[in-house]
Amino acid sequence: MSSMVSSRRCLRTAAIATLVVLTAGACGSEPEQAKGTPVTRPTAPALDAVAPQHPAPGEKAPVLEKIKYELETRVLRMGGMVPKPTSSSCDTDAVGDKPQKFTCSVKYLGIDVPFRVETTGGFIMTQYTATPVKGGVITREGVRATAWKRYGTLGGKTRDSLRCDDIPTVRLVPVGKPSGYRCYIGEGGLAGPYDVIIGGNGLSLR
């Protein structure tokens, strides 16, 4: 008895069920509201390499000056190769032939990016490590230029659907982990969200 009732119910509602399915399919075909803002061709393309705008220290320059220059270069890479002025200062006057620990800070786009520096010492060659203390620097211009260089230049649906979150002009974010900001590709084989990650030496989208 139950099977007959069930059968009759299916026959009676077949037209309605078909209408519901078609209506749901039509609604489901509408794209979800895209996240972020569209990325367009930057006025200045992302660079492959960038260096501080002041002269590099010579081979015979003090070790501390070489360290400061290299830290400024690292900050520029974090910022997405946006060629803006940098400066740096350290809480020591010189690096000697004995191991040392000190702090250096790079100023870039109005913010300070501090590093904890440890040298190994050595009369002929001094090695060092530099660890960001408060995080790495992220810039809106650098992220958008990098996203365009990596994905926008591919053209087609990838280019047309490329978007990024509303990233601040510049700020500090954690190093080596998702920054909290993303870029998105809405269509094509590369569709999906991409985390903006600031590493110790640069910017990546993963």
* Distance between CA atoms of residues 47 and 83, nearest Å: 9
**DSSP secondary structure string for all residues of 119-139:** E---SS---EEEEESS-EEEE
Asked if the model's pLDDT at residue 191 lies above 80, the reply is yes
Q: What is the pLDDT of residue 75?
A: 97
pLDDT tens for residues 79-100?
999 899 999 999 999 999 899 9
pLDDT of residue 23 exceeding 80, the answer is no
Report pLDDT for 45: 60
Q: How many residues does the chain have?
A: 206
- Return the pLDDT at 113: 97
How far is the CA of 197 from the CAs of 114, 155, 204, in angstroms? 18, 24, 5
On the question of pLDDT at 44 being above 80, the answer is no
Would you kindly state where each structural domain of the chain is located, as residue ranges? 37-44+138-205, 63-133
At residue 109, the pLDDT reads: 95
Residue closest to 74 by CA, chosen among 110, 104, 119, 44: 104
- Mean of all residue pLDDT scores within the chain: 84
> Per-residue pLDDT averaged across 189-201, rounded?
94
Residue showing tokens 């037209």 = 15
Quote the longest CA-to-CA distance of the chain.
99
Say whether pLDDT at 24 is over 50: no
Using CA atoms of 136, 137, 141, 146 in order, give the dihedral in degrees to the nearest 10: -10
User: What pLDDT sits at residue 171?
Assistant: 96
Q: Which residue has the higher pLDDT, 3 or 165?
A: 165
> What are 144-189's pLDDT values in tens digits?
999 999 999 999 999 999 999 999 999 999 999 999 999 999 998 9
State the pLDDT at residue 46: 62
The helix or strand, by DSSP H or E, that contains position 150, with its residue range, turns out to be: helix 140-150
pTM confidence score: 0.80
pLDDT at 201: 82
List, in sequence order, every beta strand (DSSP E) within the chain: 37-38, 86-90, 100-108, 111-119, 128-132, 136-139, 162-164, 170-173, 178-185, 192-199, 202-205
